[in-house]
Structure 1
Amino acid sequence: MKIGVIGGGAAGFFAAIHSAENNPDAEVHIIEKTSKVLGKVKISGGGRCNVTNVIFQPVQLSKHYPRGEKFLKKAFGHFNSQDTVKWFEDRGVKIKAEEDGRMFPDTDDSQTIIDCLMNEVRRLGINLRYSTNVKSLTSLEDESIGLEIEDNQEVFQKVIVCTGGQPKIDGFNWLKSLGHKIENPVPSLFTFKINHKPLTSLMGLSVPNAKIRVIGEKKLQEEGPLLITHWGISGPVVLRTSAWGARILSDKNYQFSILVSWLNDYTEEELRQYVYEQKEVLKKKQIKNKNPFQLPQRLWDYCLQRIEVPETKLWLDLSKKELNKLINFLLSDQYDVVGQTKFKEEFVTCGGVSLTDIDVKTMESKKVKNLHFAGEIMDVDGITGGFNFQAAWTTGFIASK
């Protein structure tokens, strides 16, 4: 039997490795159109590779996918994040968990994961074909699959498509022509562009627990670490907001307003009470020198500029109006988002082959016999935190069976 895996990313490698293990006599090919493989694995997690997440229960794990939750809940019953950890550790790669639930190789080096996958490919005798372009795919009369590669047709008994997300719907035409429904691709996991120089001048500053709410979209709010950049804001809280709101924000042409809560640990009532208490405690202190909220000093200075309170003013002299402006800044600071920018390490696409056309038990196409899918080519995507790699490992594993 000849098995073709199109795409040399995480899903492709995992699918090929398990295909070879499940079918020792098969001839397995990874067909990659570029000169490099495992590119996202290399740069993920700042070069450390966020392999998976510490959430092991399939139901809870599936809740971290804006697209594909129900589909993956079933799939994770066959192979989940605990299985991923065991698979790598069985091959000598120790996986560690961090406080936020992300899991990395103990070496903190993505090359460790790449080396593990490449070693398995070599051990199993898988043919890794670089710079090889698949031009078209045809279902043949005997239910085998014909791939037009360069100017020749090669016949495979099984094909697994692992070509990843495509930025434009035209990139799916070769699968659409076979009868597959394609969900329109739009960006997910992107950062927010904000043209507000006083804010962006704070680039590099981070807040550990902020909250973002998209005005006009009650359900679109997230919390977590926020990072100020030279173009706007980033960090897990922004990436999660963009993932859950991928289609909504695309429909808005990435022009919308947000409210930022810099102090997400307080309700408005709690914060108001605390502010008035601190006014009494710090009454003879200059407001610039006494920040009772443990905010970074640069952010506190920016806060005073934004609410137009002189730095030399004493806490005692703050008016009720100024205290209200302070509370409003800390809990509901408003900005206009004027675009989205790619977050190179985590950027994924929402959309792809509709899950209604894929059998979750086998990842086989319901339109073409012996054609399977794995990874981001499907309409599946997760929030940041190792969830997209886990979907790749899981679907690649199931497709290989």
Structure 2
Amino acid sequence: MAVPSRFKVFANRLFGSFKDTETVEAIRSALQNEFNEFLAYSDSAELRRYRELAEWFKSGEHQKVKTELKRLTYKGSPESNTEKEFLALAKSKEVKKYLEKGGDITPAISRYMDLKKQVDSAEFQNRKQYLLSKNKFEQNEAFSKLTEYQKLHNSDKIKWFLGLEKDSSKFNELREWKLEFYDDFDSSALDHQKWLTKFFWGDALLNKNYSFTTDKQNYTDKNFELKDSVLRIVTRKEKSEGLGWDTKFGFVPKTYDYTSGVINTGHVLRLKEGKVEAKIRLSCCPGVTHAFYLVGNSVLPEIDIFIKTDSKPNSFTGAYYTQKSNGKISKNISSIGGVKCSQNFYILGVEWNSNFIIWSINGTPYKIEKNITSDVPMYLVFASSVNSKIDDSKLPAYMEIDWVRCWSPLK
């Protein structure tokens, strides 16, 4: 986990200096694709062959073969001696007479016939031609291997791979993380294996949705829409009956004037440290709160990856809530501007370990805090709610989620 300087984080927050979402996604996609290609090629037959030939080349075997072949001539070779003997016998009177008139086969004639058979054979002639040639190395297997090695060594693919292998820091961030959870919302319905559509304790204790008696909205299973691989959490003006948690009386029936939705991963994913991101767009509607946060079994600590409580269309807020020794709540809140939250999608995330928590927008850190509540397994929650007097004509309001990713660090 790379920890940025507080000055840099402050400057990013002050000036809203982050890349646009499309650029960030294009860069990340290109890097991930290149990393995938790098991993695939690292186990390819072509690379294995190159490494094998590179070791062979390094051994200098090709130079040894080349030197040996330069010393290899027809003169003085067994083939040359055979041919000389054959030509000498062919000029002898005994052989000439036999060839002209025939007769008994003497040892000399028999030898001549054996040598002739050898000299006239294709194997002998090919060997003679090879020994007389000026390009014996080019006809050797070593030359074929050398040519294959040079071709691979000079190929763009090998150069690309070796360059990355030599300076593999390009993929350091990808190597540091293991993807633990993701959802692209590309199915026709919400995946209930991944998401609870209620608070975790409502599912664990009641298997029902609940809100608080102080809330204006009732959380239901019907306030979700999936279209074009985007999940919408919808906040509507509508009356509904639900359960409300009252600190004095417990769960009580209540009629709510609004409905909204909440999802969490408490049943499938909890991380003590890691990195989470979601690509989000919001309706900046007065009176509606949108939040994406991390929480454990207790109310605190809570890490708000973002919380939007106002109608300003140009800022997001990150927050860290903890409990002081005196029981009071400590609030640490920071905002970053320069956004168009109701027009554009933004990648909002948090990375944390036992020492620090870092908030980011489109990969740019804008808030860093000391982690004083480490070792707490935390899960993801997305929720929209009604927090104050609201202009009903602005409803329905939406929190749109294009995708969610969660990583754990590879030790």
With normalisation by structure 2, the TM-score equals 0.20
Structure that is richer in strand per residue: 2
With normalisation by structure 1, the TM-score equals 0.20
Q: Who wins on radius of gyration, i.e. which is larger?
A: 2
Higher relative contact order at CA 8 Å, sep ≥6: structure 1 or structure 2?
1
